[in-house]
């Protein structure tokens, strides 16, 4: 377990020795970044760069940014105004440059990318390898909607949903990609098959986050016997919105290895593949699955 920062701002940690990590049974350090992004893309990228450096200084080889790390606009339509063509634009260039510069795998929590509707974007999680090459893209499938008192959100007004489950191979194992509201739909993670790491960059509201964020993160880790890395937006934004934060890394047994409740900062933990394998051997729940979700759905339709 890594020590928690003594304030809401992460402090530089000693860079881990890669040789020592290899000798310690293949433990690799991963990091999740927490931000409170605003409407200025350049300012957000500068803050992301600072935090990525902190993660690298702590020895992280896989670094994940939160949802909407590059822009949390005053209006929901602000992200449409800065959307980028796939493979082009300052946000994507920043991610590729940072990954190559630090020789890390970098997850751009979500980036607004063009779609066929001029008034909407894909909310896309982009993964870059340690050479700065984009190796995966996941478009958020489940779009958040909330009508609760004074809080109203309808992501469908500015976001086009994706339709493809994305899993990629990496030096850290098989990684499943998801974004924020996806967390409430366990069938998405079942569709991924056996994954070693689940990524959940998020911007949970303060209301729903306080009630459900930790419970859902730990549930996804436990039921999939997977590490869950959940970088989040955490704080007050220029728009007046408050996000929950509580960025965390959870192990396959549901233990929270490191977390940051509020403010900008970094959490770091070790991914221990041998430990994960031993858990899956001792509790082979993934092999005990006997229901096929697609078959269950067909059965339900037949009965109705």
Residues belonging to the active site: 67, 140, 180
Centre a 10 Å sphere on the Cβ of residue 296 and count the other Cβ atoms it contains: 11
Name the residue among 81, 108, 82 with its Cα closest to residue 97.
Answer: 108
Assigned token pair, 52: 């990525």
Contact 232, 261 (CB under 8 A): no
CA–CA distance, 188 with 190 (Å, rounded to integer): 5
Contact 201, 213 (CB under 8 A): no
Contact 112, 79 (CB under 8 A): yes
């Amino acid at each position: 377990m890594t020590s928690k920062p003594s304030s809401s701002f992460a402090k530089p940690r000693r860079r881990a020795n890669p040789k020592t990590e290899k000798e310690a049974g293949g433990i690799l350090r991963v990091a999740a970044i927490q931000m409170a992004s605003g409407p200025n893309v350049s300012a957000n990228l500068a803050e992301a760069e600072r935090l990525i450096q902190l993660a690298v200084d702590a020895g992280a080889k896989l670094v994940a940014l939160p949802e909407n790390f590059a822009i949390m606009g005053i209006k929901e339509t602000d992200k449409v105004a800065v959307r980028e063509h796939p493979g082009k634009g300052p946000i994507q260039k920043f991610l590729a440059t940072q990954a190559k510069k630090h020789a890390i795998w970098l997850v751009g929590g979500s980036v607004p990318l063009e779609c066929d509707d001029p008034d909407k974007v894909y909310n896309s999680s982009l993964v870059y390898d340690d050479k700065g090459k984009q190796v995966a893209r996941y478009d958020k499938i489940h779009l958040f909607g909330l009508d609760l008192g004074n809080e109203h959100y309808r992501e469908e007004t500015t976001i086009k949903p994706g339709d493809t489950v994305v899993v990629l191979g990496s030096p850290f194992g098989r990684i499943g990609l998801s974004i924020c509201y996806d967390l409430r739909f366990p069938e998405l993670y079942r569709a991924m098959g056996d994954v070693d790491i689940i990524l959940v960059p998020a911007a949970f509201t303060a209301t729903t986050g306080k009630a459900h964020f930790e419970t859902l993160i730990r549930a996804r880790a436990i039921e999939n016997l997977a590490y869950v890395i959940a970088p989040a937006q955490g704080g007050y934004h220029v728009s007046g919105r408050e996000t929950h934060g509580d960025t965390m890394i959870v192990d396959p047994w549901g233990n929270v290895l490191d977390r940051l409740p509020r403010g900008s900062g970094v959490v770091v933990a070790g991914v221990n593949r041998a430990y994960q394998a031993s858990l899956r051997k001792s509790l082979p729940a993934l092999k005990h699955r006997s229901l096929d979700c697609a078959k269950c759905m067909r059965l339900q339709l037949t009965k109705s």
